[in-house]
Amino acid sequence: MSTPVPPLVPTSAMPLATDSDAAFDAKAFPALASLNPFGVSLEAIGAATATNADAALAAALGGDLPAITGQALKLLRVNAGETAAEFIDPATVVLAEVPELSQVQVENPASTVFGQVSGQRLAQAGVVSFTDQEQQIGVGQTWQTVTRTSGVTYQNTTGRPIMVSVNGENSGIGSFEVSSDNSIFVFVGGTGGSNQRQVQVIIPDQWYYKYNGSTQIVAELR
């Protein structure tokens, strides 16, 4: 790369407004003459800067930069042979061509297959899809007072998890149980005793639940 030419500083004294007319004229003509090579020096610096910029860009791209005319909104990449740069239309990019995504191929969602991971197909029935509000406890749900009978099994059929809150009687002992199959129940909490107690339990969708004991209030977030 060429080295920019340092600017030449005018050596002649510059005329001042406080000079007499004769002194001003005596300084003005030599000063104007010294400015000419100064301008030439600035032009040389500009030319050297442009040359160096072109050389740096060419070196960074292996000296093979394609013309940009007519390539608006296109992407610049290294070609497959790693011999030159090339422009491509973003609309024609295939995910399989991206190295980081070579193990994932996204297909038409209308087909029976949604994608491929490490060579194994994902059947449509095996793909879980949900909206932003699905499966989020408390989103779009409200607390509601409900009537529940002791020892009776109830099922959550809302399509989403719910929360059940039970307020037990002071004098009795109560137990809260849940089950995924309405057969084997799991104890998850109790109420009652010397002090009134509460129990809150999250019930997954389609699970069963029951409370054994006297209650004062049962509320559900559903």
Q: Are residues 174 and 201 both part of a single domain?
A: yes
Which pair of tokens denotes residue 147?
A: 């009537």
pLDDT for 177 equals 92
Which pair of tokens denotes residue 198?
A: 């509460």
Q: Which residues contact 198 (CB under 8 A, 6 or more apart)?
A: 165, 166, 167, 168, 191
Q: Which of 36, 60, 84 is the last residue of a domain?
A: 60
pLDDT tier at 71 (50, 70, 90 boundaries)? confident
Query: What mean pLDDT do residues 94-98 have?
Result: 53
Per the listing, tokens 């960074």 go with 60
Question: Which of 210, 209, 152, 208 minimizes the C-alpha distance to 181?
Answer: 208
51 vs 67: CA distance, rounded Å: 17
Q: Are residues 18 and 38 both part of a single domain?
A: yes
30 vs 36: CA distance, rounded Å: 11
Q: Are residues 174 and 123 both part of a single domain?
A: no
Residues facing residue 14 across a β-bridge: none
Q: Are residues 192 and 173 both part of a single domain?
A: yes
Give the count of domains, the chain.
4
CA distances from 110 to 91, 122, 131, 132, 184 (A): 20, 14, 18, 21, 40
Per-residue pLDDT tens over the stretch 124-171: 445 555 554 556 788 889 999 998 888 899 999 998 899 998 887 665
Residue 87 has pLDDT above 50, yes or no: yes
If you write DSSP's letter for every residue of 19-60 in order, what string do you get? S-HHHHHHHHHHHHHHHHHHHHHHHHHHHHHHHHHHHHHHHH
Q: Are residues 111 and 55 both part of a single domain?
A: no
